């Protein structure tokens, strides 16, 4: 199990907060009234996004980024498979739990997947801020895996470090 310390007051290199679209209690995007946009165009209210919000966004958007790179025939980039979706789903579930805690707990396979993909594709999303996103994952503390994780690792053939 890898324990990721969730950064508090997470900001970009420019000192500005990351932003996300504000949602109401039903999960719907909050539209800005009188935005000054032409008729038919909508604007949405934004709010500060924390590290976990950005990590969740990464897990959702990485599939589009990788697909575009594959279609552009970028050297060394392979299309994601169904297993990648499964791992991203595990990460998002762990993020949802971590919103109520100060740490994100990841099993080995999801942690390795995040390390690899933040290094390889984080720059496509975060530009200069890619290292800010990757560092907490790379600095994660390895703790002895629990019985269930050991079974999953054995079944998946994940080698121990």
| Residue scoring higher pLDDT (140 or 100) | 140
Give 105-109's long-range contacts (Cβ < 8 A, gap of 24+): 105/1, 105/2, 105/3, 105/4, 106/1, 106/2, 106/4, 106/140, 107/1, 107/2, 107/145, 107/149, 107/152, 107/153, 108/1, 108/2, 108/145, 108/149, 108/153, 108/158, 109/152, 109/153, 109/156, 109/158
CA 18 to chain centre: 13
Query: What confidence tens digit (pLDDT) does each residue in 94-113 have?
Result: 999 998 888 999 999 999 99
Give the residue numbers spanning the domain of 75. Answer: 2-14+50-144
The count of structural domains within the chain is 1
Structural domain contains residue 86? yes
| Residue scoring higher pLDDT (40 or 91) | 91
Mean pLDDT of 138-155: 79
H helices then E strands: how many in the chain? 5, 5
| Residue scoring higher pLDDT (40 or 150) | 40
Structural domain contains residue 42? no
Structural domain contains residue 32? no
pTM: 0.83
Structural domain contains residue 29? no
Structural domain contains residue 105? yes
Structural domain contains residue 19? no
Query: What confidence tens digit (pLDDT) does each residue in 11-26 have?
Result: 999 999 999 999 999 9
Structural domain contains residue 154? no
At 161, the pLDDT band (50, 70, 90 cuts) reads very low
Structural domain contains residue 118? yes
């Amino acid at each position: 199990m890898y324990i990721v310390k969730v950064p508090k007051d997470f900001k970009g290199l420019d000192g500005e907060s990351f932003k996300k679209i504000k949602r109401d209690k039903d999960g719907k995007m909050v539209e800005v009234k009188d935005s000054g946009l032409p008729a038919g165009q909508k604007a949405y209210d934004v709010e500060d996004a924390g590290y976990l919000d950005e990590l969740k966004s990464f897990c959702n958007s990485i599939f589009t980024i990788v697909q575009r790179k594959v279609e552009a025939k970028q050297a060394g980039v392979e299309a994601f498979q169904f297993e990648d979706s499964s791992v991203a789903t595990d990460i998002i579930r762990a993020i949802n739990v971590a919103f109520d805690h100060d740490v994100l707990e990841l099993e080995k396979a999801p942690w390795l997947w995040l390390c690899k993909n933040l290094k390889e594709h984080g720059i496509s999303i975060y530009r200069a801020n890619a290292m800010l996103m990757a560092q907490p994952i790379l600095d994660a503390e390895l703790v002895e895996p629990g019985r269930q994780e050991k079974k999953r690792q054995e079944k998946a053939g994940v080698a121990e470090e």
